[in-house]
Chain A
Amino acid sequence: MSEYFIAFSNINATYLIVVVIGAIAGYIIGALPGFSATMGVAIFVPFSYNMQTNSAFGFLIALYCSAVFAGSIPAILIRTPGTPAAICTVLDGYPMAQRGEAGRALGLACWSSVIGGVISAFILMIAAEFIATFALAFGHYEYFMLGILGLTMVIGMSSGTMAKGLIAMIIGLAIPLVGMDPMNGYPRFTFGSVQLLSGLQELPVMIGLFGISEIFVSFSAEDREKFPNQKITNLFSGIKDLLKNKMLIFKTAIIGTFLGALPGVGATTAAILGYDQAKKGSKHPEKMGTGQPEGIIGPECANNAVTGGALIPLLSLGIPGDPVTAILLGALMIHGLQPGPLLFVQQGIVVKGIFITVILSYLVILLFSVFSIKLLARLLNINSNVLYAFVLMFSLIGSYALRNSYTDIYVALAFGFIGYWMRKDGYPLGPLTLALVLGSMIEQKLSGALKLSEGSIVPFFTRPISLTLFLLAVAFTFFPVIRNWIIYKNKSTNGKKSWQSEQS
């Protein structure tokens, strides 16, 4: 408890200003279709290098949280989600705005997001500490199996086919192989270059994959609709709807937090499940899609609850829950913090500071929305190409800032092309990002474990935690296959029944 007081007392004017700037940056990024929270965090991480640790994380977490919420603004106003997580908000948000209740819809989205985010922050505080205490018993074997489990979960949940998810994962595993072998110090794939001895840095790779490639993809996108000059009034009119849907808020916040903690699931899946819950619990499910308040509350509460959930495995185990937390992992390490159970022991105040930042970010979002959401809606009319120019400049400067190396800028550009190529052919970037982060950890832990056991793999299957993680990894690998088989069986049984009833 004392650590919370100390962390709270570290909040000063600089910290608050930085949180507000992060929230504004996240707002702009999330509100503009074609930009994503991942892109925003990837591009702005390098600018946090010279900040104090708590200010740096205040900035980045505020950016993350507000970008996820701000995706609902264009979803409601111009039927185009600003981020993939707002995909379900379109269904009821846009019809509500069309009948002149844009303020009510935006207010509902704002309040639901804030409540969902704050609930997930409280769950984060309890769960992360508990898991970290449990994970203190983990050794090389357990961490290796945890890495494998993380990869299998990502593949199982990735969009598109499992085969394409596996390909993306393999590319992600190949990237950390460039540079010095972590165990023996032998240079691999450096082609005699001194710059490549330290390997391909994660941040320029992420900037390329999520920043530059996004710009390239946007060149093929259609022009978005302009925001019509609609009056946005009465952002508080949705509060009665919130009070009527207390159970939905609670359920979707828990679902979102849980899904956020699972690697590779993400805010989009949480939003879809949140909408599904809203439909199931609605008194008039037939009216869903026509502008029902629960159609906004469910997905918005769930998608923002993911922010707290994704920080649980990151802080307690050092395993990122989604691409954004994969980037935050890099940021933590740049600031000299090694995420995992020891972080709670050695840097408890910093961890508590991160928890407080999540709650503070949502309060800033709430205040900011109430006073300036109308102004932000006008952002939708900015020429996207102007913003792309700035994103490219930020990408260039950000890639360079890590090591003052021009090689990193070329790496970012190269991965911009790779990301574009993968998306053009339907390969997901999520598995690649998580494999990139987990790849070197898996190699190190496997090597360390085999050294301890003198080459024997038996301890991987005799240690109880390691065996449990292995069985979970197998289950997650075959989960999509089993799920598709069950769906196929149900379809053929229903088809057979309807054919039989037609015959009789």
Chain B
Amino acid sequence: MKKLIDFIKKHSLPVSLIFLGMIVLYWIRDYRQVPSGLSSAFFPRLVAILMIVLSVLTILIHFKKENEGEFTPSKSANFKILLTTVLFLSTINLIKHVHVVVGIVFFLVTYLKIIAKITWKKTMLITFIGTIILYGMIFLLRISL
């Protein structure tokens, strides 16, 4: 079981693509056929088959090799990513239901204090300047948030 989990971790992307390819092939079996030219299912079918074949090929090529990733994420990096995502989603909801300025202020204060870990004085100053810049851009470029 541990070997299987390690295998899936090492080849997470190709394994996911194999499952995705199989799901796509099943999903599109009822897609509309047309009398001439390509049907709506042709390209998705082709891409799904290529996805499965290339993923299997990649797993075979990299079976015994060490993971050649760009970097290895640390626990603190994963925590920052999770926190940033929660902040991002919260900000979207604040902008949607309250006001864009409230969302921007909330995001900047929380990010700068918790993730950037800078002092309250600097946080307030950067938030003030940042909110003016961001809101100014939204206003000048006529983006309706």
User: How far is B85's CA from A188's CA once the two chains are assembled, in angstroms?
Assistant: 28
- When the two chains form their complex, are residues A424 and B69 in contact, meaning their CB atoms are under 8 A apart? yes
A171 within 8 A of B: yes
The answer to whether the Cβ of B102 comes within 8 Å of any Cβ in the partner chain is no
Partner of B92, one of A50, A401, A406: A406
Which of A174, A394, A423 has a CB less than 8 Å from the CB of B51? Answer: A174
**A420 interfacial by beta-carbon distance below 8 Å:** yes
Instruction: Show 11 A/B contacts (Cβ-Cβ < 8 Å), sorted by A.
Output: A161-B68, A163-B61, A170-B17, A177-B43, A183-B38, A219-B76, A220-B72, A385-B118, A389-B130, A424-B70, A450-B36
Which of A170, A184, A406 is B50 in contact with, Cβ under 8 Å? Answer: A170
A221 at the interface (CB under 8 A from B): yes
Complexed CA–CA distance, A216 and B77 (Å): 8
CB distance from A170 to the nearest CB of B (A): 5
C-alpha gap A427/B54 in the complex (Å): 13
- Residues of chain B within 8 A of A447, CB atoms compared: 37-38
Q: What A residues does B47 contact at CB under 8 A?
A: 170, 173-174, 177
Q: Do A167 and B55 form a contact, CB below 8 Å, given A421-B12, A425-B13, A450-B38?
A: yes
CA distance A20 to B125 in the complex (A): 26
With both chains docked as a complex, state the minimum distance between the C-beta of A4 and any C-beta of chain B, in angstroms: 30
- Within the assembled complex, what's the spacing in Å between the Cα atoms of A189 and B26? 12
Task: Check A446 for interface membership: any CB of B closer than 8 A.
Answer: yes
Known: A184-B34, A216-B81, A390-B130. A167 touches B104 (CB 8 A): no
Cβ-defined contact, A181 with B118, below 8 A: no
Contact A446 B141, beta carbon cutoff 8 Å:
no
Per DSSP, chain B at the interface is helix
In the complex, are the beta carbons of A413 and B85 less than 8 A apart?
A: yes
- Of chain A, the residue at the smallest CB distance from B14 is A167
A454 at the interface (CB under 8 A from B): yes
Residues on B facing A (Cβ under 8 Å)? 12-14, 17, 24, 27-28, 31-32, 34, 36-40, 43-44, 47, 50-51, 54-55, 57-58, 61-62, 67-74, 76-77, 80-81, 84-85, 88-89, 91-92, 95-96, 104, 107-108, 111-112, 115-118, 126, 130, 134, 137-138, 141-145
Query: Size band of the A side of the interface?
Result: 35 or more
A392 at the interface (CB under 8 A from B): yes
A345 on the B face (CB < 8 A): no
The answer to whether B92 touches A409 (Cβ under 8 A) is yes
A455 proximity list for chain B (CB < 8 A): 36
Closest A-B pairs by Cβ, 6 of them: A385-B116, A219-B77, A186-B40, A451-B37, A181-B40, A220-B77
Given known contacts A170-B51, A221-B71, A451-B36, is B61 in contact with A393 (CB within 8 Å)?
Answer: no
A130 to B142, CA, bound (A): 39
Interchain CB contact under 8 A, B85 and A386:
no
Minimum CB–CB distance from A357 to chain B (whole Å) comes to 20
B115 to chain A, nearest CB (A): 6
Chain A residues with Cβ under 8 A from B126's Cβ? 386, 389
Instruction: Give the A-B pair count, Cβ closer than 8 A.
Output: 163
A184 touches B96 (CB 8 A): no
Q: CB-defined interface of A148-191 with B at 8 Å, one 1/0 digit per residue?
A: 00000000000011011011001101100100010110101100
Judged by a CB distance under 8 angstroms, whether A422 is at the interface is: yes
CB distance from A484 to the nearest CB of B (A): 13
> A47-B141, A425-B69 given as contacts; is B134 within 8 A of A163 (CB)?
no
Determine whether the beta carbon of B141 is less than 8 Å from that of A50.
yes
Instruction: Indicate if A383 sits at the interface (CB-CB under 8 A).
Output: yes
Q: In the complex, A49→B57 CA distance in Å? A: 42
Give Cα A392 to B123, complex, Å: 16
Complex Cα spacing A406 to B36, Å: 38
- Of all chain B residues, the one with the shortest Cβ separation from A47 is B141
Q: How far is the CA of A188 from the CA of B27 in the complex (A)?
A: 10
B65 to chain A, nearest CB (A): 9
**B116 and A386 contact, CB distance less than 8 A:** yes
Compute how far the CA of A446 lies from the CA of B54 in the bound complex, rounded to whole angstroms: 22
Most buried by B among A167, A390, A409, A421: A167
Does A77 belong to the interface (CB within 8 Å)? no
Q: Please state if B54 and A166 are interface contacts (CB–CB under 8 Å).
A: yes
Residues of B within 8 A of A219 (CB): 73, 76-77, 80-81
Contact between A188 and B108, CB atoms less than 8 A apart: no
A19 interface residue (CB < 8 Å to B): no
